[in-house]
Structure 1
Amino acid sequence: DDANRNGGKWLVRVRSGLGYRVWENILLALVGEQFPVEDEILGAVASIRAYEESISLWNKTSYNPVIIDKIRQVFSKVIDLPPGTVIEYKPHQTAIR
């Protein structure tokens, strides 16, 4: 997808049972337009497994550190998980190689 070519995704993994709350928080933030960079968020994905759940947020610009930091700040606040929760960022180009 051309819109995703230069983008990336934020990924947080949580123990089973917490994913639904994180997912709901992300959806409410998207609908409520809480992410400060207009037209930057392309989508969100939830993956619910038996032992681990993951939520990812896709954006279209992975090469601009200002945009990445703004999204990280809101994403961290919205998911409302304890300090120390690992939040990964993966540019799509690294997955393509």
Structure 2
Amino acid sequence: MIVRIMGEGQVRLDDSHLAELNKLDDELLAEIENGDGPGFRRTLSALLDKVRELGTSLPDDSLEPSELILPSPDATLEEVRELLSDDGLIPGAV
């Protein structure tokens, strides 16, 4: 799957990593719902770091369709809240 991190670029990520990412996504969703700013910042950073770690960056001139779009590392709690679906940032993940 192709994941876009807003403001950074795209990463190719194997679907087998979705369960691991979904755990962080669930934590992030709970922190947003509870208004936990420090927890939100920490978990968003961990989620993006994990995507970068597990994925392979695509060249900047690559324009693959993104199957998942994640917020930039400096996104605010309110900005991320607007991006959420009922499933979090990673809809349909197991």
TM-score by length of 1: 0.34
Higher helix proportion (structure 1 or 2): 2
Higher strand proportion (structure 1 or 2): 1
